[in-house]
Structure 1
Amino acid sequence: MTTTEPPPPVALAPAAFRGEIDGAPTALWTLTGDGGVTVNLCDFGARIVQILAPDRQGRLGDVVLGYDSLAAIQGGQPSMGAFIGRFANRIAHGRFTLDGVERRLARNGGAHHLHGGLKGSRFRVFDAERLAPGAVRMSLTYADGEEGYPGELRSSVLYRLDGDTLRLEYEATTDRRTVVNFTGHAFFNLAGRGTILDHRLTMNARSFLPIDSTAIPTGEIRAVAGTPFDFTRPHPIGARIDADDEQLRHADGYDHTLVIDKAPGAFGLVAVFEDPASGRVLEVSSTEPGAQLYSGNALTGAVPRDLGKGGVAFQRRGGFCIEPQGFPDAPNHPHFPSTVLEPGAIFRGVIAYRFTTQT
């Protein structure tokens, strides 16, 4: 092996993921198929812990950041790889009003509510059911009043490996009018090492949501043209990440929702990421109206939080997230796409990650 080749993927031990959290057993679940891709999941947080995908020479590499044991997950970044609910991203000051009643939520992200609160999905063990070698359904019920949200919310996410594509097919129902917002929070690095600054990104988005200094959307929907957020043509993620731009300063890089150009609720292209070194390409599609682009600005290599598989530390901007979702803080912005779910209705969403290569 030359020094320029990435290290071989870490072989995960199923026994390292067996345990019990809040009385619920945990396990590692492996998805296999005929597309050359293998996915490993843990039912604690319904999280992606490993995706093996071939490079242009057919060599398998691990293209997501994650941990190699249940103990490491518990000591690590809680969002890493997790399926996020019952409301992804932020709600300003942990408050929103629905049907004339103010709901107060935990403030677990500074002054704001973040990723479902103190016991959101990333801290819960899902009920897992294997449906096929390449399919596992994970289910979680949120109690009425839990974290301050109205309504019992029954939810599930089906992880399905379909050839070269990993699909997340999720749904939820409620017995009271409530708000919902789900997303997948995998951290990707298509090179399997180093930073993601050389990854080339194209996004199907002509506008984005500016944020204030605490990462809450201001309510404006701003065109990306003439800004560092214009990925309508391919650009390296790192090309403008340190530009003298107020929005980039607010987040120390990218941590913003871009508005996806497609019909409401339609399944369509979100983004394409290309790694020149390995030739790997990630094509992301979704039914969601927005997608949070995060450039791994807060990865610092801190132990144990940022100690990944095989004892390799996560470095700053060593992974990116692309999180299709409803708009953050939508319950407090009536002009944003609604995140309200009615009793008797079924909320459905899809996120698809397709792994290919280019020469």
Structure 2
Amino acid sequence: MKTNFRKYGRKNNKDLCEITLENDHGMVVKVLNYGATLEKVLLDGENMILSLDKPEDYDKERNYLGGTVGRIAGRVRRGLWRHGLELHQLPINEGPNHIHGGIGTDTEIWDFRPSCNEKGARVDLTLFDPDGHNNYPGNLKLHARYELDNNNILHYSLGAMSDKLTIFNPVNHTFFTLGEKKTINDLQLQMNADYYIPVDETGLPDRGMEKVDGTAFDFRKAKRVGDALESDDPQIKNRDGLDHPFILNGNQPGAVLTSGKHKLTVTTNAPSLILYTGNGFDHTGKYTADFGPYCGITFEAQVPPAEGDDLGRITLLPGEKFKRTVDWKFE
């Protein structure tokens, strides 16, 4: 097991660093303290995730690749959070809605400490998000951890605690490719999800859960991802691909993604996985010019978005401990 880090830049009077984790089998993981970002996952030298060309590019253009996105990842309708008789307004930054925490945690520079022992190579990252930042109440302390073990499992966890009543629904936003260079259409996906959540034209739920049975969203048995993306399902057409929450049925693992050479197994304590197939990439970004639609797929482990302004499921009480865990096993 080995860890090391290197400074590659400086921003806002803080050092920007790339941390490297390596296990005894030569699997290498690279993490940035900018956004607590998963930058690369190298298995036999081949990158398993969507990455920019170099660490210096990540703070130049917000694209969420591998970032720890919060305080809330995803959308809040009209940016409104109602609790009791109070109505709280979050910044509107995507059409009529709030998305990805405003100037969120994926754009902050985290403190970090690498370490290793016989069980794993890891990095612990911490961030203080002050009361009122992005209109969120409460001083919030976050603790993210990436740990690589000798079974080629990358363990990700995120803990947090606030001193005020607040809302919190973060996610790791890694796009997985399993080494596919252009699209993930030919990857095989299996999920333990009997229900998915349809969304409206803004990407928010409007009718509750629906069964996957008989739809493009049925991955209970492994099938080609492209079979869903190329279907005539109105929900696929509505979002130009997958951009939907899947409700996990409790059987593990949550999802299994396979290519001809590699396999990814995803397990989590989250109630849902939001699948997004990079539908918005169109070769126009300065730093993402090589990326087109369906260039990667996310498994965003979180509470699914709410239809209205009752966000009770993601409310964090003062002093309450939040803990999200996700394991990614690579073979």
Which TM-score band applies after superposition, normalised by the shorter structure? over 0.9
Q: Equivalent residue for 1:68?
A: 53
Paired with 1:131 and 1:178, the residues of 2 have a C-alpha distance of 32
TM-score by length of 1: 0.85
2:266 to 284, 291, 301: 284
Could you tell me which residue of structure 2 aligns to residue 345 of structure 1? 320
Pick aligned residue for 2:214 from 222, 226, 243: 226
Identity of aligned residues (%): 28
**Cα distance in 2 between the residues matched to 1:46 and 1:207:** 31
Instruction: Kindly provide the amino acid, as one letter, of the partner of residue 147 in structure 2.
Output: R
Conservation of the 8 A alpha-carbon contact between 2:228 and 2:236: no
Cα root mean square deviation, aligned: 2.0
- Separation in 2, partners of 1:339, 1:274: 32
SS class of match (2:164): coil
User: Distance in 2 between the 1:149 and 1:247 partners?
Assistant: 32
Q: 1:17·1:42 contact (CA, 8 Å) conserved in 2?
A: no
Q: 1:153: how far off?
A: 1.0
What amino acid is aligned across from residue 251 of structure 1 in structure 2?
Answer: R
SS at match of 1:170: strand
- Structure holding more strand per residue: 2
Aligned 8 A contact 2:205 2:306 in 1 = yes
Are the aligned partners of 1:159 and 1:169 in contact in 2 as well (CA < 8 Å)? yes
Q: Write out aligned runs for 1:71-86 (5 A).
A: 71-86=56-71
Rounded Cα–Cα distance in structure 1 between residues aligned with 2:53 and 2:228: 33
Q: Which residue of the partner structure matches residue 198 of structure 2?
A: 210
Q: Shift of residue 167 of structure 1?
A: 0.7
Match of 1:154 among 111, 116, 141: 141
Could you say what secondary structure the match of 2:175 adopts?
coil
Ranges in structure 2 where 5+ consecutive residues have no aligned partner = none
Q: State how far apart, in whole Å, the 1-side matches of 2:12 and 2:89 are.
A: 25
Q: Distance in 2 between matches of 1:95 and 1:256?
A: 21
Picking from 120, 127, 136, the partner of 2:104 is 120
Residue 187 to residue 208, structure 1, CA distance change in 2 (3 Å): same
TM-score by length of 2: 0.92
Tell me the distance in 2 between the aligned counterparts of 1:328 and 1:226: 24
1:253-306: CA deviation from partner (whole Å, max 9, x where unpaired): 10000001118xxxx421000002xx2000001000011101121122224131
Contact 1:219 1:333 in 2 (8 A): no
- Pairwise CA distance, 1:131: 2.3
1:317 counterpart residue number: 294
> Counterpart in 1 of 2:227?
239
Structure 1 residue 195 corresponds to structure 2 residue 183 = yes
CA apart distance, 1:145: 1.5
CA contact (8 A) 2:81 2:310 kept: no
SS at match of 2:237: helix
What stretches of structure 1 of length at least 5 have no aligned partner?
1-13, 55-59, 308-312
1:232-255 residue CA offsets vs partner (Å, 9 max, x unmatched): 000100013132222112210100
The one-letter amino acid paired with 1:39 is: V
Number of aligned pairs? 324
